[in-house]
Amino acid sequence: MICAFSSPSRGFGDNAATLPAAWRRTGIRTAELGFDMPSEPDTGALLRLLASSKPGGRLLELGTGTGLATVCLASGLAAGATLVSVDTDARVQAVAREALADDPRVSFVLADGLDFIGQQATESFDLIFADAWPGKYAGLDAALALLRPGGLYVIDDMLPQPNWPEGHQARVDELARRLESHPDLATVSLSWASGLVISARRS
């Protein structure tokens, strides 16, 4: 098995080679903690790209974890952009806080994701990466309401994962159906990395 956090040799399609040094440092801390839900390097590379497409934008991550996706989003931020990352687990979020302690564009919130979503103004974010139950399988409509026109909603882990609970495939299928049929969204599903869905709000 190849470790996703090892120093890569560059080659076509080697997206891990484009990730910031903080990715590898955070990956080591993640393994030390035994955190078993890390984001993949391909997902991180895509998030970095999408963050770069929102200069001056306000970005939201629901589910910090140890911050593997967070450091990728942060590495794509333009000088005037900001990122808010929300999680309920202080122990794992502490890894992300340490990794990005010197980046004033990034702020962390220790709170329930649904509570946080409910406290935000509509159309107040340009990109939402929903990597937790809140804003994805619970409170989807409320999370989508936070997107500005042209904003992006991104989710991963849509292909079967070893840690899925029994019956989870039905939830995944229903979530994909809701996004693909939403009248205000243009949506693409990608059978790549852990399985990604990206939706753009039309209006």
| Residue 1 in this model has a pLDDT that exceeds 50 | no
Exposed, middle or buried, 89 (CB in 10 Å: 0-12/13-18/19+)?
middle
Give 11's pLDDT tier (boundaries 50, 70, 90).
low
pLDDT of residue 10: 57
In this predicted model, what pLDDT tens digit does every residue of 112-143 receive, in sequence order? 999 999 999 999 999 999 999 999 999 999 99
Q: Which residues contact 75 (CB under 8 A, 6 or more apart)?
A: 19, 20, 22, 48, 51
In this predicted model, what pLDDT tens digit does every residue of 36-76 receive, in sequence order? 777 889 999 999 999 999 999 999 999 999 999 999 999 99
DSSP 8-state symbol, 40: P
Give 3's pLDDT tier (boundaries 50, 70, 90).
very low
Joined together, the tokens standing for residue 76 give 């794509």
Question: What is the rounded CA–CA span in Å between residue 172 and residue 178?
Answer: 10
Which of 6-15, 115-124, 143-152 is the least confident region? 6-15
**pTM of the full predicted structure?**
0.92
Helix (H) or strand (E) holding 113: helix 113-118
Q: Which residues contact 151 (CB under 8 A, 6 or more apart)?
A: 123, 125, 126, 127, 128, 200, 201
What are the structural domains of the chain?
Answer: 15-201 (3.40.50.150)
